[in-house]
C-alpha cells in the first residue's frame, strides 16, 4: 500500500558564525540582556561566495544523496525564499540544473516569508496525492538581511533545507495539514529595499502566536489528536523563546520541542527554520513516533502538519551531512569580516 | 560574461560533467568534441567523482578583477576518486590548516558576478571534510 509523505530531506548551514556579544559590542548594547530575551548565542553567516541559490543546491543535493533515487523522477521543484539572488530568474531553474533534474519538470520560486517552503510542501503533497507527479522537492533557503542596529541583526541567519515528498519509501507519513492566512502587516520588504521593516512589538501576539496557535489547534481538532499524542513538535524559530512559549500555550512540554531548537546556534534561518527543526526530529525519531510541526510566515500565515514515522526512517538517519554536522561545523568571525561578507563594505 | 557561454558550460560547472570515449575508454574534463587520446567522436557524457583529495594548493592574493571580492582564496589541484585531476578553489578552510592529501568534496558556490545587474556564474569548488 502506498503512503503519502516525506521520502527524504537534506539541509545546509554556512559555517561562519557571529556571536551576539560581537554585534552588541559594536552598538554598545548589553549582550546578556539580548541573549536572555532571545535565547540566541550566535547566528550563521554565508561566506562571500554563498547565496540563497548555492545554499538551496547544497540542501537539495543532501536530500538527493540521502534518498539515492533518480533526480529525473522529480516532477515538481519549488524554492521558497525572501532573499533570492535574482529578482527575476527563478532559483528553482538553477537548483534543477545543479541536481540534474532539468527537463520535464514543474518549477517555481515561492514567497511567503518564513513559511514559503512549507507552502511548497503542501503543493507537492497535493500533486503526489493526485498522481500528477511521483516526487516533489520543496526547498527553503534564506540569507536574510537585518538592518544594522535593528534587533533583527542579532538573529537574521542563513540556511537551507529541502524536503522530498512522494509515495514510495516514505519515512514519515502525512496524517494531515491545515493552514491559516490573514492580512497582518507584521513584517515586510518593498521591491528594491535592501532591508525588511517590521512592526516591532506588533510581531508577537497578533502575528506569530495567533497564527501558530490557530493553525495548530485547527489541525489537531480536524485529526482528533492532542499534544500528548505526539513524541515531538517543532515551530518556526525566529528566536528560541517564541517556539518554547507557543509550545507551552498549546500544551506541549519543553521536552517535546527542545530537540528541534537549532536557533540558539545559527539564528533565524527564515524559510528553512521550522523545517530544519523537523529534520532534527526525523534524525532522532523512531518507528511509530508522531511529529507535529507548524510553520509561520509574516504577512501572515501558518501551516500545520502531522506526521507518523515509518520503519523506513533508519535508512535515512545514518546520512553523514545532517543538521548536526552543519551546526557543529563553525568558524567564528568578527563584525568587520561579517560586514564584508554581507556586502556592507564594497 | 556572455549568456550563451554560461548556459553551454553549465553542466560542466554545476555537475562536473566531462566525457568518456566509447572506443578507448579515455575520460576527460572539461568536455571536448572528440577523444583527446584516439580522436574518436564516439563519446558520451561522464560525471566526475564528487570526492577526492588535495594534491597541491596555493593561496591567491592578487586575483583577476572579477574575483577580487573573494580574495585571498586557495586554489588547489584535486585528484578525484576516479583518478581525474581538476583544479578548483578550496573553500571554508584557512590556508594554514590545508594539507596535501586532505579529503575534499564538491560544493556549489558563486564563481563570479558580472556587476550589479549582470549574471551570477555558479559552479563547483571544493570543501575539505
Ligand atoms: Zn578514445
Shared-domain flag, residues B35 and B69:
no
* A149: region left, alpha or beta (phi > 0 left; psi from -120 to 50 alpha): left
Q: Among all chains, which residue has been given the C-alpha cell 537574521? A: A156
B114 and B80 inside one domain: yes
> What percent of chain A is modeled with pLDDT above 70?
98
Looking at the complex, report in whole angstroms how far the Cα of residue A66 sits from the nearest Cα belonging to chain B. Answer: 15
B31 with B61, same domain: the answer is no
Q: Closest chain A residue to B12 measured between Cα atoms? A: A98
| Positions of A marked active-site | 82, 114, 236
User: Is B1 in the same domain as B26?
Assistant: yes
Please determine, for residue A201, whether its predicted confidence score (pLDDT) is greater than 70.
no
Q: Do B55 and B41 share a domain, yes or no?
A: no
For cell 552588541, the residue is A24
Are residues B113 and B55 located together in one domain of the fold?
Answer: yes
Looking at the structure, do residues B43 and B65 belong to the same domain, yes or no?
A: no
Digit-coded pLDDT (tens) for A3-60: 999 999 999 999 999 999 999 999 999 999 999 999 999 999 999 999 999 999 999 9
pLDDT of residue B115: 80
When the pLDDT of each residue in chain A is averaged and rounded to a whole number, the result is: 95
Domains of chain A: 5-171+316-341 (3.40.47.10), 172-313 (3.40.47.10)
* CATH number, position B65: 2.40.50
B34 plus B96 within the same structural domain:
no
Q: Taking residues A187-192, what's their average pLDDT?
A: 88
Answer for the pair A78, A123: CB distance below 8 angstroms, yes or no. yes
Flag whether the ipTM exceeds 0.90: yes
Residues 6+ apart with CB under 8 A from A192: none
Above 80 in pLDDT, residue A200? no
Query: Cell 575539505 appears where?
Result: B128
Instruction: Please give the distance, rounded to the nearest whole angstrom, from the Cα atom of residue B88 to the centre of ligand 1.
Output: 26
Residue range(s) defining the domain that contains residue B25:
1-47
Gap from CA of B20 to ligand 1 centroid (Å): 8
Is it the case that residue A264 has pLDDT exceeding 70? yes
Q: Which of A49, A85, A325 to mutate to test the interface with B (most CBs of B within 10 A)?
A: A49
Considering its fold, how many domains does chain B have in total? 2
Contacts of B15 in chain A (CB under 8 A): 97-98, 100
The whole-model pTM stands at 0.97
Is the same domain home to B68 and B129?
Answer: yes
User: Is B82 found in the same domain as B19?
Assistant: no
Confidence of residue A199 (pLDDT cuts 50, 70, 90): confident
- What is the distance in A from the centroid of ligand 1 to the CA of B79? 21
B118: distance to nearest CA of chain A, Å? 10
**CA pair distance A69, A91, nearest whole angstrom:** 22
Cβ contacts of residue B115 below 8 Å, gap of 6+? none
Domain match, B56 and B101 both: yes
Same domain, B112 and B58: yes
Q: What is the pLDDT of residues B8-32, one digit of tens each?
A: 999 999 999 999 999 999 999 998 8
Encode pLDDT of A46-60 as tens digits.
999 999 999 999 999
- Nine cell digits for residue B75: 586554489
Which residues in chain A touch residue B11, judged by CB atoms under 8 angstroms apart?
Answer: 97
- For A74-132, give the DSSP string: EEEEEEE-SS-S-SSS-HHHHHHHHTT--SS-EEEEE-BTBTHHHHHHHHHHHHHHTTS
Lowest mean pLDDT among A203-207, B43-47, B50-54: A203-207
Q: What chain A residue is nearest to B6 in terms of C-alpha separation? A: A94
Amino acid at each position: 500500500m502506498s503512503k503519502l509523505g516525506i521520502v527524504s530531506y537534506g539541509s545546509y548551514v554556512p559555517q561562519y558564525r557571529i556571536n551576539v556579544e560581537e554585534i552588541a559590542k559594536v552598538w554598545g548594547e548589553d549582550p546578556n540582556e539580548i541573549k536572555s530575551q532571545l535565547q540566541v548565542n550566535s547566528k550563521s553567516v554565508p561566506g562571500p561566495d554563498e547565496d540563497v541559490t548555492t545554499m538551496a543546491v547544497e540542501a537539495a543535493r543532501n536530500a538527493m544523496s540521502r534518498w539515492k533515487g533518480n533526480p529525473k523522477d522529480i516532477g515538481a521543484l519549488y524554492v521558497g525564499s525572501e532573499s533570492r539572488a535574482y529578482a527575476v530568474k527563478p532559483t528553482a531553474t538553477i537548483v534543477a540544473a545543479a541536481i540534474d533534474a532539468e527537463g520535464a519538470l514543474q518549477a517555481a520560486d515561492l514567497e511567503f516569508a518564513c513559511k514559503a517552503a512549507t507552502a511548497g510542501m503542501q503543493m507537492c503533497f497535493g500533486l503526489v496525492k493526485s498522481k500528477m507527479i511521483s516526487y516533489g522537492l520543496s526547498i527553503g533557503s534564506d540569507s536574510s538581511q537585518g538592518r544594522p542596529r535593528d534587533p533583527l541583526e542579532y538573529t537574521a541567519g542563513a540556511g537551507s533545507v529541502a524536503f522530498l515528498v512522494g509515495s514510495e519509501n516514505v519515512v514519515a507519513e502525512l496524517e494531515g495539514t491545515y493552514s491559516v492566512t490573514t492580512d497582518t502587516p507584521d513584517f515586510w520588504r518593498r521591491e528594491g529595499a535592501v532591508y525588511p521593516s517590521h512592526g516591532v512589538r506588533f510581531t508577537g501576539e497578533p502575528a506569530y502566536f495567533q497564527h501558530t496557535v490557530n493553525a495548530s489547534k485547527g489541525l489537531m481538532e480536524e485529526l482528533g489528536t492532542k499534544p500528548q499524542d505526539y513524541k515531538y513538535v517543532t515551530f518556526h524559530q525566529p528566536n528560541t523563546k517564541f517556539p518554547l512559549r507557543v509550545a507551552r500555550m498549546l500544551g506541549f512540554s519543553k521536552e517535546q520541542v527542545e530537540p528541534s531548537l537549532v536557533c540558539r546556534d545559527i539564528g533565524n534561518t527564515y524559510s528553512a527554520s521550522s523545517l530544519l527543526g523537523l529534520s532534527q526530529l526525523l534524525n532522532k525519531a523512531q518507528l511509530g513516533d508522531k511529529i507535529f510541526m507548524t510553520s509561520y510566515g509574516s504577512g501572515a500565515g501558518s501551516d500545520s502538519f502531522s506526521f507518523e514515522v515509518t520503519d523506513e526512517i533508519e535508512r535515512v538517519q545514518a546520512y553523514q551531512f545532517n543538521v548536526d554536522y552543519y551546526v557543529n561545523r563553525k568558524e567564528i568571525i568578527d563584525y568587520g569580516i561579517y560586514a564584508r561578507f554581507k556586502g556592507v563594505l564594497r | 560574461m556572455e549568456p550563451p557561454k554560461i548556459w553551454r558550460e553549465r553542466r560542466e560547472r554545476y555537475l562536473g560533467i566531462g566525457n568518456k570515449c566509447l572506443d578507448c575508454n579515455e575520460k576527460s574534463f572539461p568536455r571536448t568534441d572528440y577523444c583527446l587520446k584516439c580522436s574518436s567522436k564516439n563519446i558520451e557524457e561522464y560525471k566526475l567523482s564528487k570526492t577526492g583529495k588535495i594534491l597541491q594548493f596555493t593561496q591567491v592574493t592578487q586575483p583577476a578583477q572579477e574575483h577580487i571580492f573573494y580574495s585571498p582564496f586557495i586554489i588547489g589541484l584535486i585528484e578525484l576518486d576516479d583518478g581525474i585531476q581538476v583544479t578548483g578553489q578550496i573553500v571554508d578552510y584557512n590556508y594554514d590548516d590545508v594539507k596535501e592529501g586532505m579529503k575534499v568534496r564538491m560544493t556549489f558556490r558563486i564563481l563570479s558576478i558580472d556587476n550589479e545587474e549582470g549574471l551570477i556564474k555558479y559552479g563547483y569548488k571544493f570543501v575539505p571534510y
